[in-house]
Amino acid sequence: MKIIIDGRDVDVEYGETLLTAAKRAGIKIPTLCHNEAFEGQGRCRLCMVEVERGSMKNTVASCTYPITGEIKVSTSTPLIEKMRKNIVMLLYKQAPGSQLIQDMYKEYGCVDNSLEENNADERCILCNLCVLACREMGSSAISLIMRGTDKQVATPYNEAAEVCLGCGACAEICPTNAIKVIEKDGQRIIWNKVFNLVNCQRCGKPFATREQLGYIAAPGKDISTQSLCESCRRKSAAEKIQGFM
């Protein structure tokens, strides 16, 4: 099946999203709330594109739009650019503390407006990726709480969550670096919970929390690499392969 994106013929599969098809064809569509590990969320709306189907013309979020027929797509039109500029302006008002958003604010040529907010340090754009990452890790310690202008990501009652592993997947996936992780003196503090770090058996560097390793070592999972940090794990795997040659 073929569709046209920005004047180019692109081979696509029935049902895949517009964003996936465009990415594969090397056509860039800006995104913030999208990560290949998860399905499109349609939250940040930055990936809006114009879709022509017959005589119908629509703007859609490409990350959630499944391709089901012959369409003509434009990823950058005056209308789309104007929408993105608006979105970036609003994101900047939500998270003025984020370097990424600040850069985008300049890139899209946004001009300041009179909306005064008292949130200069805020970096979270509520993209929900951290919540998805935490769920995928199997702990679901954080979620979006409240609604409207009070909405935020937090653990229940803002307390240290029993189920939190301290794995830091939430901070890793965050596009705006909004989740605070403090690591010092062999401890990691994240989401108001203090974890003791375990040292790598080979290089001695603290690399994971006890809870994380305990979770990995649960029955049915591979525990052979559990006390090596990522780079040492790679080294030891390479050495093993060398032994066979």
Partner 1 sequence: MAEDVSNTEDMISPIVTAYPREKRYILAMMQDVQKKYNYLPKEALKMIAKHAEVPFSQTYSMATFYKAFSLIPKGRYNIRVCDGTACHIKGSAVLIDQIYNNLGIKPGETTEDKVFSLETVNCLGACAIAPVVMVNDTVHAKVTSSGILKIIEKYRGDAGDEDV
Note the residues at the interface with partner 1 (CB under 8 A): 135, 139-147, 155-157, 161-163
Tell me the C-alpha distance between 17 and 26, whole Å.
Answer: 15
Tell me the C-alpha distance between 103 and 159, whole Å.
Answer: 33
- Count Cα atoms within 13 angstroms, Cβ side, for 86: 8
Q: Give Cβ neighbours of residue 92 (< 8 Å, ≥ 6 apart).
A: 101, 102, 104, 105, 110
Q: How near is the Cβ of 172 to partner 1 at its closest, in Å? A: 19
Between 143 and 199, whose beta carbon lies closer to partner 1? 143
Between 162 and 230, whose beta carbon lies closer to partner 1? 162
Q: How near is the Cβ of 140 to partner 1 at its closest, in Å? A: 3
Q: How near is the Cβ of 100 to partner 1 at its closest, in Å? A: 26
Q: How near is the Cβ of 145 to partner 1 at its closest, in Å? A: 4
Between 117 and 162, whose beta carbon lies closer to partner 1? 162
Three-class SS of residue 192? coil
Cβ atoms of residues 142 and 191 within 8 Å? yes
Between 138 and 214, whose beta carbon lies closer to partner 1? 138
